[in-house]
Structure 1
Amino acid sequence: MFTQFKSYIKGHESVPGEAKLLRKIDTFILSFCCLCYFTNYLDRSNLSNAYVSGMKEELNFKGNELSLINTVFTVGYIVGQLPSNLALTYLRPHLFFPAMVIIWGSLTMITAAVHNPQGIMAIRFFLGLAESSTFVGTHYILGAWYTEKELGKRSGIFTASGLAGTMFGGFIQTGIQSSLDGVHGLSGWRWLFIIDGLITIPIAIYGFLLFPDTPTTTKAPYLTSEERAMAIARIPESGSVKVPLNLTFAKRIFTSWHWYGFVILWIIAGETESFSSNALLALYMKAQPAKTYTISQLNNYPTGVAAVGIVSTLFWATLTDFMGGKRYLVGYFIAITGIVTSTMILTRYEDKAVVFGAYYWAGAVYACQATFFAWCNDVLRFQDDRFRSVVIASMNMGSNAVNAWWLLLFYSANFAPRFTKGMWAMIGCSIALALWTTGIILMTAREEKNRDDQELRVGDLDTKIIEETAREV
């Protein structure tokens, strides 16, 4: 089966009708998932945008309350990861995903009515639960539909959509601040949450009607019976197996190197994203004692970080597909980036141009999102769906579990503008990432060799049986 699948993948580009199938699933899977992720990141980034656009003063934020709210969101996000990804192996994705979209859209609009930081804290916990379905759920779906030569680019497009939400969030806040601030007695930052919530409604309807589920369960009206059969043939037979959730399954998870290898990989890599995901540049600008930035500058300047992240993500995702899935190259690139940018800030802090340049360059580490989850999907291609769903969910769950206290320890808002401890933490994570990436390379190479050897032995046995049968005849 392994040899047959490899042969199919090697020549799959010439299969009649496959290009048309790819165009269809790209259109409906990527469009829906990217719209969901865009609004995910729009919601997350706009809390920081609202904070620097009047919410801090209006709700009387004190100390590190913003960081605490982010931590509460992260806790909800962590709790929802594993259940939501397992739910996708039981429930139809075209029903589950839109339901989560409706929930988080409603909670986003409710945020506009809060009167204190504690109200936001309660809402953000449940918002985290609902939004937890999108990131890991999409990577699970992408791994079910796309081959190793296709997966990186699609994962990159998906990740870039979230970064676009971060980038455009600043521009949207600027527009709302100037056009809606004070309309019907509401501050501009309150209108921001209302508009964000309204955006999700047509997205949910679209997903309910047209999302194609998985190759083995799809009933999408735009896929012919031949295309559905082709979609199933493109994935290993083991990928469609549904194993029961029991102690045997749990033991298999926790005794597998895949779980430890990829969970720890993403924990380390996730913390290298802290420069960008925790809005450090915006906090650095807000806390400058000698210079006051306008609301427009506070919202717009940090969008450059996301722009660099988009370019880096698409570049590395496409390159690793072209190179046959060498996702590990990104690990070494990010390690170098993390060490250099942190050193620039530590040693040249008085030079604002250098600091801004370092924060922008650090946005390139966002490339690890697409490539590392694609790497996990590649390695787990011959495992069953539930095993793959648990490992993918555990990766993001582990990273966010660490980030829940990591940002308080190293990147709390009251550490601005220097974040000295955070710079040293970034250097340590970057070194660890290079070492751990090397370890996974060795483990996957050994597993691939064992799989090839086993397939060769099976092939030799089949040949021997055929020869013996021929002699008897």
Structure 2
Amino acid sequence: MRQMIWSDFRRRILGNDTISREERKLLFKIDWFILSYCCLMVYLDRSNVNNAYVSGMREELHMVGTQFNQINTLFTCGYIVGMIPNNLMLQIVPPRIWLPTMQIVWGVLTFCTTSVSSVNQIYGIRFVQGMAESSTFVGTHYILGSWYKPGELGKRSAIFTSSGLIGTLFSGVLQGAVYRNLSGIGGRSGWRWLFIIDGIITMPIALYGFFVFPDVPATTKAFYLTEEERLLSSDRLQDVVDTTKHALSWNLVRRVLSRWRWYGCSLLFAVSGETESFGSNNLMGQWLSAIGGYTTEQVDYYPSGMTAFAITSTLTCAWLTDKNRKRWPVLIYMSTACVFAALCILIWRSPTWLKFVAYYVAGASYAGQATTFAWANQICADDDQERAIVLASMNMWNNVINAWWPIVLYPATDAPRFRKGAIAMLGTCGATLAVTWLVWYLELREQRQRDVFPGRGADEYDGPEKGDRQVLDGSELEQGEREKD
């Protein structure tokens, strides 16, 4: 009875609707080892500078003007530089080696941040840290797209995205506790202790990855998978995902640039990713700090409500989109939520409680992150190498915009009102809706062309080697699985 209840829970929550006992066992293993490592890998580090800034770092390092934004911009520049090279390295170096190694690099740099004496030192550390951390986000989405079917992918992408949000949520709570309990211990400020604790958490997780991460189905040698399970991991994705290992060649450039996918998916996340600006720039924390009347702990704690709403939205939307394989409604939902938030903040005479609601509702923007990458994995499923480039490029172009977007539209000097930022958010939401329609239309047109010319590739539907692979869309795949069952 207990086993039946657990199986039903996994089927409903994670989408493991296969009747094969062997496949259920395989999914349980890869769910545990892939998601446990990838989720822990992004636990705290991205948000610690934001929390440190409003918890004493600004005053201790005598930061002025837009120096906080410049720290984030230099991190973004490093992120941009490392994005595509890191994803290409996953085609050369086993992911179980490359990803943990990059994590050790940024863990060491996190420890270094505890000893900085000027903002210029943080500039250098965060740039290199961005290069190392750029391996994580798109690398994980590439790995997820290599192991899971379309009906399974959205939930796993959402769990991974939510883990980063949980890290942000926990980081705010942790920073408040550190500031209250460790500030002054050993002659160090509370914000410096946060980086020490982050570094202590990071290093063991990297070591865990060396031992348990399974690489991709074509090359996995994970000790916990039997030979039959290794074969099954590729066989179950046949005609759904390209799992063949191909040598890198210049043909990859031709394939990527001659199709609409790179352009459409890159534009989609370049635009829609900016709806996260209220959260990624910690506008709520800066607003609370600027208007006064709130303690340091409250400034750290209260923005956590936005993160909690983001997690709820991300998981709920992913579960719904995996059921019908339609990703575009999520982008409509998050754009609508962000329009409401921007209007409430733009109308400055609105009551304080409404501004709290607005910032919390803006957390819906994070729901689009898991959805757009699951959508791109689904669109590019017939070409493993193209998929790696498209996923990296999506995040790269989003970060190209992030390199200047906060400085121009969300400078710290605009606190507490952020009028320019609220107006920019309205425009961003409108652009997101337009690009969402464009990608939906192009995907639909490609699927119709496959129906007319089955088995032909996308430039005529050629894959990495030859055009004999047909990728099923969501409705066809769902119907095929039901017939097989």
TM (norm. structure 1) is 0.91
Write out aligned runs for 1:106-121 (5 A): 106-121=108-123
Residue ranges of structure 2 left out of the alignment (5+ in a row) = 1-14, 458-467, 469-485
Q: What is the distance in 2 between the residues matched to 1:73 and 1:306? A: 21
**8 Å contact 2:54–2:289 — kept in the other structure?**
yes
Q: What is the distance in 1 between the residues matched to 2:83 and 2:130? A: 10
Count of aligned residue pairs for this structure pair:
443
Q: What residue in structure 2 maps to residue 469 of structure 1?
A: none
Residue 11 to residue 114, structure 1, CA distance change in 2 (3 Å): closer
Q: What residue in structure 1 maps to residue 407 of structure 2?
A: 408
Deviations 1:143-183 (A, max 9, x none): 00000110000000000000001111111111111221111
**8 Å contact 2:286–2:415 — kept in the other structure?**
yes
**8 Å contact 2:252–2:385 — kept in the other structure?**
no
**8 Å contact 2:287–2:416 — kept in the other structure?**
yes
Give, as a single letter, the amino acid of the residue that structure 2 aligns with 1:381: A
Q: What residue in structure 2 maps to residue 439 of structure 1?
A: 438
Q: Does 1:267 align with 2:266?
A: no
Q: Does 1:27 align with 2:32?
A: yes
Deviates more, 1:303-312 or 1:240-249: 240-249
Aligned partner of residue 17 in structure 1, secondary structure: helix
Residue 66 to residue 23, structure 1, CA distance change in 2 (3 Å): same
Q: What residue in structure 2 maps to residue 467 of structure 1?
A: none
Write out aligned runs for 1:212-223 (5 A): 212-223=214-225
Give, as a single letter, the amino acid of the residue that structure 2 aligns with 1:229: L
Q: What residue in structure 2 maps to residue 397 of structure 1?
A: 396
Residue 428 to residue 45, structure 1, CA distance change in 2 (3 Å): same
Q: What is the distance in 1 between the residues matched to 2:316 and 2:39? A: 18
Q: What is the distance in 1 between the residues matched to 2:244 and 2:25? A: 27
TM (norm. structure 2) is 0.88
**8 Å contact 2:83–2:134 — kept in the other structure?**
yes
Aligned partner of residue 13 in structure 1, secondary structure: coil
1 or 2, which has the higher helix percentage?
A: 1
Give, as a single letter, the amino acid of the residue that structure 2 aligns with 1:15: S
Q: What is the distance in 2 between the residues matched to 1:67 and 1:11? A: 43
Residue 148 to residue 116, structure 1, CA distance change in 2 (3 Å): same
Write out aligned runs for 1:341-380 (5 A): 341-380=341-380
**8 Å contact 1:304–1:360 — kept in the other structure?**
yes
**8 Å contact 2:78–2:128 — kept in the other structure?**
yes
Residue 457 to residue 78, structure 1, CA distance change in 2 (3 Å): closer
Deviates more, 1:448-457 or 1:18-27: 448-457
Write out aligned runs for 1:157-168 (5 A): 157-168=159-170
Residue 136 to residue 70, structure 1, CA distance change in 2 (3 Å): same
Q: What is the distance in 1 between the residues matched to 2:331 and 2:175? A: 34
Q: In the alignment, which of 83, 86, 98 is matched to residue 84 of structure 1?
A: 86
Deviation at 1:62, TM superposition (A): 1.0
**8 Å contact 1:348–1:354 — kept in the other structure?**
no
Q: What is the distance in 1 between the residues matched to 2:268 and 2:138? A: 15
Q: What is the distance in 1 between the residues matched to 2:214 and 2:429? A: 39
**8 Å contact 1:236–1:382 — kept in the other structure?**
no
Give, as a single letter, the amino acid of the residue that structure 1 aligns with 2:265: F
Q: Does 1:423 align with 2:425?
A: no
Residue ranges of structure 1 left out of the alignment (5+ in a row) = 1-9, 463-473
Q: Computing the radius of gyration over CA atoms, which structure comes out larger, 1 or 2?
A: 1
Q: What is the distance in 1 between the residues matched to 2:275 and 2:232? A: 39
Q: What residue in structure 1 maps to residue 20 of structure 2?
A: 15
Q: Does 1:452 align with 2:457?
A: no
Q: What residue in structure 2 maps to residue 37 of structure 1?
A: 42
**8 Å contact 1:112–1:191 — kept in the other structure?**
yes
**8 Å contact 2:338–2:364 — kept in the other structure?**
no
Q: Does 1:256 align with 2:255?
A: no
Q: What is the distance in 1 between the residues matched to 2:189 and 2:338? A: 38
What is the root-mean-square deviation in Å for CA atoms of aligned residues? 1.8
Deviates more, 1:232-241 or 1:257-266: 232-241
Q: What residue in structure 2 maps to residue 470 of structure 1?
A: none
Residue 122 to residue 147, structure 1, CA distance change in 2 (3 Å): same
Deviates more, 1:131-140 or 1:252-261: 252-261
Q: What is the distance in 2 between the residues matched to 1:67 and 1:349? A: 27
Residue 349 to residue 152, structure 1, CA distance change in 2 (3 Å): farther
**8 Å contact 1:37–1:162 — kept in the other structure?**
yes
Residue 342 to residue 12, structure 1, CA distance change in 2 (3 Å): closer
Aligned partner of residue 61 in structure 1, secondary structure: coil
Q: What residue in structure 1 maps to residue 337 of structure 2?
A: 337
Give, as a single letter, the amino acid of the residue that structure 1 aligns with 2:286: L
Q: Does 1:285 align with 2:288?
A: yes
Q: What residue in structure 1 maps to residue 297 of structure 2?
A: 296
**8 Å contact 2:348–2:417 — kept in the other structure?**
no
Aligned partner of residue 219 in structure 1, secondary structure: coil
**8 Å contact 1:74–1:125 — kept in the other structure?**
yes
**8 Å contact 1:43–1:196 — kept in the other structure?**
yes
Deviates more, 1:138-147 or 1:442-451: 442-451
Q: What residue in structure 1 maps to residue 228 of structure 2?
A: 226
Deviations 1:96-141 (A, max 9, x none): 1110111111000100000011111110001101111110000000
**8 Å contact 2:218–2:244 — kept in the other structure?**
no
Give, as a single letter, the amino acid of the residue that structure 1 aligns with 2:302: Y
Give, as a single letter, the amino acid of the residue that structure 2 aligns with 1:285: L
Give, as a single letter, the amino acid of the residue that structure 2 aligns with 1:307: A
Q: What is the distance in 2 between the residues matched to 1:119 and 1:75? A: 16
Q: Does 1:315 align with 2:320?
A: no
Deviations 1:30-75 (A, max 9, x none): 000000011xxx2221112111111111111111111101100000
Deviates more, 1:171-180 or 1:70-79: 171-180
Give percent identity, aligned residues only: 49
Give, as a single letter, the amino acid of the residue that structure 2 aligns with 1:301: Y
Deviation at 1:387, TM superposition (A): 0.9
Q: What is the distance in 2 between the residues matched to 1:371 and 1:123? A: 31
Deviation at 1:355, TM superposition (A): 1.0
Give, as a single letter, the amino acid of the residue that structure 1 aligns with 2:310: G
